[in-house]
């Protein structure tokens, strides 16, 4: 039963995407019901699996009965399970907003593309080999491009073009890296590559090392790290609100890939016995994280629209997480990963909620939208302003909300690092810069209201009476943050266990490759049987 439920996390959204592609706008109510039911099912199933402890040891699903490394495997552990749960939470929020605000009706295939996006996301988090990770990256690119253009608009089209060009470059590099690894190591299964790296021939070591660096370049492009993050503010800043909210999880695919490949393939390993891989990538991650965080904070200051500011806040969160992943030694690494995961949950859920709040501003400030400028007062301005304040202090990392606790955990892990001084300086300085930028934005949005001809100060835009129901979706992420603060100790304990699982790759390797390195004749299951049949 568990195997079927884990497989459902990948195959349900792709099946729904096919069904919804046929229904389209011919049955909009049915399409909405199917899409919402699918997202809710993914949330319920993934949460049940994760909270039920099924990820405490890695669960491996061999599709079609073909064992690794010759077949396709899905791996459900605490890390991949957490990512699928986060994806499902964001998906449900985004879909509810799209249906509530009728933003799914601007194009015929919104729900089909949305489910295809969930297929790509869940597949990327659960796959156990690099080739299928590449395939799911391509599914993500196609579906996200369609969603980005949903609703048309010249600016959206231009932003989408930049998004596609950068990500196609990443796809090309990924293909080169995968080809080089397969040509030298003879496998694309992550666990199998890990076991075979020490056996690489000496003359192939430079090729394998280069391929590994290319892999991480691709992951950092997907994650929007310096210097390849400039595609994100434009794409996220012009996307429709529900699409931008869903995209809050997109950068986490790249970061997840960094963490998974680094912890499984490189931790405590060598390439051909010549190149130590434990610290091959991590120091680069630390410095890239520092630069990304600082530049993103300056981007928040420069943002003239709230959605663009939120996009830079997402880039800042990428920098913060990379700093944590760049801390490489012993217990310091476990604490850093635990803090990174806490911050990871915080920034994913609250970024999505912040985009939904920007959607309220656009709806109720028709003259200015989410532009950071004075405009006629909007209905329920005090309530909306209070929500903005809560999101601002959380995203900037101020107490008492989740951003503060996540940063404290990461900084605590950096206390013994030789780079403690620059880490503290950049994290604290960038936080101050973001506080100033968001305070200025809040002042202009909510305290510098002005009457304009045709829109006196006391007038309410059309649809104002429906503002309060729409606010519920923006309150929900803050409720999640509150639960994370109140339950910080048990959540931290669970994340400590997750970090220990991540930093102990033997559990992953034993689950995927219990018999070690296999040849076709020694493989269990179908391949071994067919090999024996071929011998006779």
- The pair of three-digit structure tokens given for residue 240, joined into one six-digit string: 């429709």
Cα dihedral sign, 190-196-198-203: negative
> Do residues 75 and 191 make contact, with C-beta atoms less than 8 angstroms apart?
no
Rounded distance between C-alpha atoms, residue 485 and residue 488, angstroms: 5
Rounded distance between C-alpha atoms, residue 278 and residue 509, angstroms: 16
* Average pLDDT value for residue range 112-121: 95
Average pLDDT, the chain: 86
User: Percent of the chain scored above 90 by pLDDT?
Assistant: 51
Rounded distance between C-alpha atoms, residue 317 and residue 345, angstroms: 11
Whether residue 460 is predicted with pLDDT greater than 60 in this model: the reply is no
Rounded distance between C-alpha atoms, residue 12 and residue 356, angstroms: 26
Rounded distance between C-alpha atoms, residue 87 and residue 92, angstroms: 9
For residue 351, the SS3 value is helix
Closest to 411 in 3D by CA, of 349, 351, 499, 343: 343
**pLDDT of amino acid 470:** 66
Residue 307 CB neighbour total at 10 angstroms:
23
Adjacent-strand bridge partners of 75: 60
Adjacent-strand bridge partners of 525: 66
Torsion angle defined by CA atoms of residues 317, 321, 324 and 328, in that order, rounded to the nearest 10 degrees: -150
**pLDDT of amino acid 379:** 72
Which comes out higher in pLDDT, residue 12 or 1? Answer: 12
**pLDDT of amino acid 282:** 83
Closest to 303 in 3D by CA, of 232, 398, 356, 240: 232
**pLDDT of amino acid 518:** 55
Adjacent-strand bridge partners of 73: 62
pLDDT digits (tens, 9 = 90+) for 53-89: 888 888 988 887 787 788 889 999 999 999 999 999 9
Task: Give Cβ neighbours of residue 158 (< 8 Å, ≥ 6 apart).
Answer: 234
pTM of the model: 0.90
pLDDT digits (tens, 9 = 90+) for 134-175: 999 999 999 998 888 876 666 667 777 888 888 899 999 999
Adjacent-strand bridge partners of 62: 73
* Average pLDDT value for residue range 506-521: 75
* Average pLDDT value for residue range 452-458: 48
Adjacent-strand bridge partners of 66: 525
Whether residue 481 is predicted with pLDDT greater than 80 in this model: the reply is yes
Task: Give Cβ neighbours of residue 507 (< 8 Å, ≥ 6 apart).
Answer: 57, 58, 77, 501
> Do residues 90 and 248 make contact, with C-beta atoms less than 8 angstroms apart?
yes
Element housing 74 (H / E): strand 73-76
> Do residues 103 and 242 make contact, with C-beta atoms less than 8 angstroms apart?
yes
Closest to 234 in 3D by CA, of 154, 317, 348: 154
Rounded distance between C-alpha atoms, residue 165 and residue 530, angstroms: 43
**pLDDT of amino acid 528:** 42
Residue with the two structure tokens 């015929």: 108
Question: Pairing relation of β-strands 59-62 and 73-76?
Answer: antiparallel
pLDDT digits (tens, 9 = 90+) for 89-106: 999 999 999 988 888 887
* Chain-centre distance for alpha carbon 259: 12
**pLDDT of amino acid 530:** 40
* Average pLDDT value for residue range 370-383: 76
**pLDDT of amino acid 149:** 83
Rounded distance between C-alpha atoms, residue 344 and residue 329, angstroms: 21
369: which DSSP letter? Answer: T
Query: Where do runs of H (alpha helix) occur along 397-443?
Result: 402-413, 420-442
Whether residue 272 is predicted with pLDDT greater than 90 in this model: the reply is no
* Average pLDDT value for residue range 459-486: 74
Closest to 391 in 3D by CA, of 444, 438, 341, 321: 438
> Do residues 497 and 79 make contact, with C-beta atoms less than 8 angstroms apart?
no
Beta strand residue intervals within 89-178, DSSP E: none
Burial 191-200 (b: 16+ CB within 10 A, else e): bbbbbbbeeb
Closest to 247 in 3D by CA, of 94, 42, 99: 94
Confidence of residue 517 (pLDDT cuts 50, 70, 90): low
């Amino acid at each position: 039963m568990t195997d079927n439920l884990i497989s459902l996390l990948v195959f349900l959204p792709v099946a729904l995407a096919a069904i919804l592609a046929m229904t389209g706008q011919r049955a909009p109510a049915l399409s909405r019901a199917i899409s919402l039911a699918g997202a809710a099912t993914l949330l319920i199933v993934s949460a049940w699996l994760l909270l039920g402890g099924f990820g405490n040891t890695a669960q491996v699903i061999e599709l079609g009965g073909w064992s690794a490394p010759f077949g396709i495997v899905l791996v459900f552990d605490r890390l991949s399970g957490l990512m699928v749960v986060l994806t499902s939470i964001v998906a449900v929020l985004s879909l509810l907003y799209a249906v509530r605000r009728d933003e799914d009706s601007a194009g015929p295939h919104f729900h089909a593309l949305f489910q295809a996006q969930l297929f790509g996301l869940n597949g990327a988090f659960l796959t156990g080999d690099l080739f299928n990770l590449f395939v799911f990256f391509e599914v993500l690119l196609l579906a996200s491009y369609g969603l980005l253009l949903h609703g048309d608009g010249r600016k959206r089209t231009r932003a989408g073009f930049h998004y596609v060009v950068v990500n196609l470059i990443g796809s090309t590099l990924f293909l080169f890296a995968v080809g080089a690894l397969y040509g030298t190591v003879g496998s694309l299964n992550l666990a199998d590559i890990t076991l075979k790296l020490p056996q690489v021939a000496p003359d192939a070591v430079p090729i394998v090392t280069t391929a590994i660096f290319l892999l991480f370049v691709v992951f950092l492009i997907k994650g929007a790290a310096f210097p390849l993050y400039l595609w994100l503010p434009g794409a996220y800043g012009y996307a429709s609100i529900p699409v931008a909210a869903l995209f809050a999880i997109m950068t986490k695919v790249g970061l997840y890939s960094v963490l998974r490949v680094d912890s499984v393939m490189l931790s405590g390993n060598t390439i051909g016995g010549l190149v130590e891989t434990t610290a091959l990538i991590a120091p680069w991650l630390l410095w890239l994280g520092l630069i990304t965080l600082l530049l993103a904070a300056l981007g928040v200051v420069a943002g003239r629209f709230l959605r663009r500011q939120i996009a830079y806040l997402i880039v800042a969160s990428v920098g913060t997480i990379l700093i944590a992943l760049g801390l490489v030694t012993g217990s310091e690494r476990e604490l850093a990963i635990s803090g990174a995961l806490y911050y990871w949950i915080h920034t994913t859920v609250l970024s999505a909620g912040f985009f939904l709040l920007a959607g309220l501003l656009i709806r109720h400030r028709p003259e200015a939208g989410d532009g950071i400028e004075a405009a006629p007062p909007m209905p329920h301005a005090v309530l909306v302003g209070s929500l903005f304040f809560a999101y601002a202090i959380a995203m900037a990392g101020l107490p008492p909300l989740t951003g503060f606790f996540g940063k404290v955990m990461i900084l605590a892990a950096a206390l013994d690092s030789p780079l403690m001084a620059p880490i503290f300086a950049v994290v604290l300085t960038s936080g101050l810069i973001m506080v100033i930028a968001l305070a200025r934005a809040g002042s202009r949005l909510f305290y510098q209201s002005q009457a304009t001809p045709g829109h006196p100060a006391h007038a309410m835009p059309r649809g104002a009476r429906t503002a309060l129901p729409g606010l519920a979706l923006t309150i929900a992420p803050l409720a999640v943050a509150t639960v994370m603060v109140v339950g910080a100790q048990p959540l931290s304990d669970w994340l400590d266990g997750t970090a220990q699982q991540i930093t102990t790759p033997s559990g992953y390797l034993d689950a995927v490759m219990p018999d070690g390195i296999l040849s076709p004749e020694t493989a269990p299951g179908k391949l071994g049987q067919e090999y024996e049949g071929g011998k006779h």
